[in-house]
Amino acid sequence: MAVGPVSASAPGPVAAALKDAVISAALTALLLVPLVGLRATEQGGGPLILTTRFGLVAIFGLIVGVLRFVLLLTIWHPARAKPGRTGPALFNGLGDRLAPVLKPAFFGILLVYPLLAVLGSGGLGPSRYWVDLGIYILTYVMLGWGLNIVVGLAGLLDLGYVAFYAVGAYTFALLSTSIPVSDFFAGALGADFWKAWSFWVCLPISGILAALWGVILGFPVLRLRGDYLAIVTLAFGEIIRLVLINWVDLTNGGAGISSIPPITFFGIPFTNSDGGFASLFGLTFDPMHRNIFLYFVILALAALTALATVRLRRMPVGRAWEALREDEIACRSLGINTTLTKLTAFSIGAMFGGFAGAFFAVRIRFVSPESFTFMESAVILAIVVLGGMGSQMGVAMSAILLIGGMEMLRNLTFLKSPWLLGPDFDPSLYRMLIFGFAMVAVMAWRPRGLVSGRLATIFLKHRKKVSGDLVAEGHG
Amino acid sequence: MDIFLQQLINGLTLGSIYGLIAIGYTMVFGIIGMVNFAHGDVFMVSTFTALIAFLLLTTVLGITSIFLVLAIVLVVAMAFTGLVSWSIERVAYRPLRGSFRLAPMISAIGMSILLSNFVQVAQGPRNKALPPILPDVIVVWDSGSYQVTLAYKQILIMVVTAVLLFGFWWLVQKTPLGRAQRACEQDRKMAALLGVDVDRTISLTFIIGAALAAVAGVLYLSYYGVVNFADGFVPGVKAFTAAVLGGIGSLPGAVIGGLLIGLIETFWSAYFSIEYKDVAAFSILAITLVFMPQGLLGRPEVEKV
């Protein structure tokens, strides 16, 4: 696993690989013995006892050893010629041919997805799971695209992105359940106005407030170097969460805010009454109408994020972001105001996080600080990193792969068979484990992302790898 | 006065633990210029190693002498945590030297998530509690209504920390390894040209930092008696705050920063509000980085082009 390169000249590749494999297997087993082989188990209310699982350790050691042996004789074989991989895409030729139709096809599929879900599952009711899954994934696609502006385009590592998500969610939750605000609108525009319109009024407010917080938090810290910035944004994310927990008068603390009014079809409620959506459009009432509408709302929000990003990339400020990502010192010497440029990226990213937060609050109709932990930031960051920082399609693909893939893993019941992983196997436990591993692996093997690589938007004569690929440590 | 004295004792105890973790951050930052985000979780792994070793020694092998048990646990935890940290450096950080700016940081974040969730899966998500170790206390001062106490384990923590810090200082200042380390810190390329094995030095730095974190882990376990897979995050960030406050890259700074953070945290909890103690620590981190990035004892950073 972690043993130096094997020289081909020594006793022969097979013997060397075997030796390497044995060492790796032994090392893996040694690393796993204390924490996997032995387990401190609770028994009732009494003291902890030790249980052992040495068989599992042996299996993992064997897997690593065999894998390493096979890899050393095939892919990592010293005599094997390196494949001439030129571009950053996973399947170059295929990628080039598919690229022009990929984006329209992608959006087309997203548009008809609810229809497919309804037809595929045979009715509105049974399609609920699939539509909800679509909403869930698209929320992460949108969050990924929002963070992509900050991390992928401007190269600012933001570990507190979930703070802006929380600001958006709480802005909407507090305003929509606030009695004074409701009374104010009841006096001016009718008793039911605020209940019907609160989401549509609060959506822009949530985004603007999140952007404002982005400016407030970003202004002092954006002069810091990359990893300091990451830690400070992490600290801000945690501060906001702790304030949400402890400021009970405003936020109701850890209990959260419930009974948030549901989404309406631009003022028309999704109810089974006379003025409701179903009766107005002459449909039979079904609670799924609201879910499908929610799907299209998040699709529109995500598309807005994507569109805004694409347009911004072609504007001077977007070009400045990309330049900043590659070489900050060069930017400064060319007269770009780096703090202001970073601030725009930070606050625009925050704004989209705020929109997504408001949507989250109206979908779940309940917000609590538990939804906005560091792990949530880490999931969004993992999506951006694995998708390839700066690449829109890459981020979307990785969100679908990571969030949807994990959800699918839950459905694989055969994994729970007693001879494989046991009936109490819970894939959601392994979710973050896999994300963490994937982040490390991608950085080591394909630092430009699994799905796609980032290239400069503008180029001179021909598109080539950006300089950042070739920049050694200590620069930029 | 009596409460003040008690908080001073508690703060210094907590600060010793933070200081030991902070050294790992500051050493790694000094030598390869990266924030080893996974260090807090390495500390958490060490607390679990210590828990397992403790259970193994007391329940399976039946050793009754608590000092013997603690000594063995300390050695086992230091060795194993050093091995873990060495593997992490080999697998997650070494291949990234020369990659783009954010790569090591992202890899470290991934490693941190991986470690904490690995422990969650392997050991379960619930708190693991031990019966109290060394529960006896000495009454230092009795004001009638309030007794200021000094627990044996607090003495243990301060003594172990002081001894180890002295040993560590000797290692860095007086041995060839320490010289190689300081050389790499100043200029890695030049050190390599002069025959210092840079890779080995970096590996050893990671091992030493992890061993010190393991000491902190054993002390943390014996002090609180409870460990959880998520315990790496907040102490990790606080220890990083300590390293930044003391001046990142400076070893005495890390210790002073650790003691300061420990004192600030306990006094804040005692006199202001216990709910906002983490907010206080995180705010100190942000304020220090924004207004005084070189910290108390650090050198101002010069950006070379």
Q: What is the pLDDT of residues B110-154, one digit of tens each?
A: 999 999 999 988 888 888 888 888 777 788 777 777 778 888 888
Question: What is the predicted pLDDT for the residue at A184?
Answer: 81
Which residue does chain B place closest to A468, by CA atoms? B100
Question: What is the predicted pLDDT for the residue at B15?
Answer: 93
Question: What is the predicted pLDDT for the residue at B64?
Answer: 80
Res. A7: pLDDT tops 60: no
Using CB atoms, pick whichever of A41, A159, A236 lies closest to residue B286. Answer: A236
Res. A422: pLDDT tops 80: no
Question: What is the predicted pLDDT for the residue at A367?
Answer: 92
Are A35 and B45 inside 8 Å of each other by CB? yes
Q: Of the ranges A35-39, A375-379, B141-145, which one carries the lowest mean pLDDT score?
A: B141-145
Q: Is A111 helix (H, G, I), strand (E, B) or coil?
A: helix
Res. A82: pLDDT tops 90: no
Question: What is the predicted pLDDT for the residue at A473?
Answer: 37
Pairwise pLDDT comparison (A463 vs B132), residue with the higher score: B132
CATH class of B2-291: mainly alpha
* Distance of alpha carbon A172 from alpha carbon A150, whole angstroms: 23
> A57, A236, A421, A440: best mutation site toward chain B, by most B Cβ within 10 Å?
A440
* Distance of alpha carbon A337 from alpha carbon B72, whole angstroms: 57
Question: What is the predicted pLDDT for the residue at A195?
Answer: 78
Res. A293: pLDDT tops 50: yes
pLDDT digits (tens, 9 = 90+) for B192-246: 999 899 999 999 999 999 999 999 999 999 888 889 888 888 899 999 999 989 8
Chain A residues whose CB is inside 8 A of the B301 CB are 225
Cβ contacts from A onto B, under 8 A? 197
Using CB atoms, pick whichever of B35, B49, B98 lies closest to residue A34. Answer: B49
Using CB atoms, pick whichever of B59, B95, B105 lies closest to residue A227. Answer: B105
* Distance of alpha carbon B74 from alpha carbon B53, whole angstroms: 9
Inter-residue contact B151 to B160 (CB < 8 Å): no
Using CB atoms, pick whichever of B98, B110, B285 lies closest to residue A472. Answer: B98
Question: What is the predicted pLDDT for the residue at A183?
Answer: 80
> B89, B114, B240: best mutation site toward chain A, by most A Cβ within 10 Å?
B114
Res. A364: pLDDT tops 80: yes
Chain A residues whose CB is inside 8 A of the B290 CB are 220-221, 223-224, 232
The tokens for A56 are 């599992």
pLDDT digits (tens, 9 = 90+) for A311-327: 998 899 999 998 888 78
Are B35 and A230 inside 8 Å of each other by CB? yes
Using CB atoms, pick whichever of B98, B105, B279 lies closest to residue A226. Answer: B105
Res. A1: pLDDT tops 50: no
> For chain A, what percent of residues have pLDDT higher than 70?
84
* Distance of alpha carbon A270 from alpha carbon A280, whole angstroms: 10
- Among left, alpha and beta (phi > 0; psi -120 to 50; other), residue B3 is alpha
> A158, A162, A227, A377: best mutation site toward chain B, by most B Cβ within 10 Å?
A227
The tokens for A308 are 């805004």
Straight-line distance from the first to the last Cα atom of chain B, in angstroms, rounded to the nearest whole number: 53
Inter-residue contact A199 to A264 (CB < 8 Å): yes
Inter-residue contact B240 to A231 (CB < 8 Å): yes
Res. A9: pLDDT tops 60: no
* Distance of alpha carbon B230 from alpha carbon B120, whole angstroms: 8
Which residue does chain B place closest to A38, by CA atoms? B52
pLDDT digits (tens, 9 = 90+) for B42-95: 999 999 999 999 988 888 888 888 889 989 999 999 999 999 999 999 989 988
Question: What is the predicted pLDDT for the residue at A2?
Answer: 46
How far does A308 lie from chain B, in Å, by closest CA?
Answer: 25
Inform me whether the C-beta atom of residue B132 falls under 8 Å from chain A C-beta atoms: no
Inter-residue contact A420 to A354 (CB < 8 Å): no
Q: Is B3 helix (H, G, I), strand (E, B) or coil?
A: helix
The tokens for A33 are 């013995």
pLDDT digits (tens, 9 = 90+) for A383-394: 998 888 778 888
Res. A95: pLDDT tops 70: no
Res. A471: pLDDT tops 60: no
Give, in degrees to the nearest 5, the angle at Cα B84 between B83 and B90: 90
Where are chain B's structural domains?
A: 2-291
Q: Of the ranges A352-356, A427-431, A455-459, B275-279, which one carries the lowest mean pLDDT score?
A: A455-459
- Residue B270 CB-density burial (10 A; 0-12 exposed, 13-18 middle, 19+ buried): middle
> For chain A, what percent of residues have pLDDT higher than 90?
23
Pairwise pLDDT comparison (B51 vs A49), residue with the higher score: B51
* Distance of alpha carbon A413 from alpha carbon B171, whole angstroms: 55
Question: What is the predicted pLDDT for the residue at A141?
Answer: 94
Where are chain A's structural domains?
A: 13-73, 109-469
pLDDT band at A78 (very low <50, low <70, confident <90, very high): low
Inter-residue contact B48 to B123 (CB < 8 Å): yes
Res. A63: pLDDT tops 70: yes
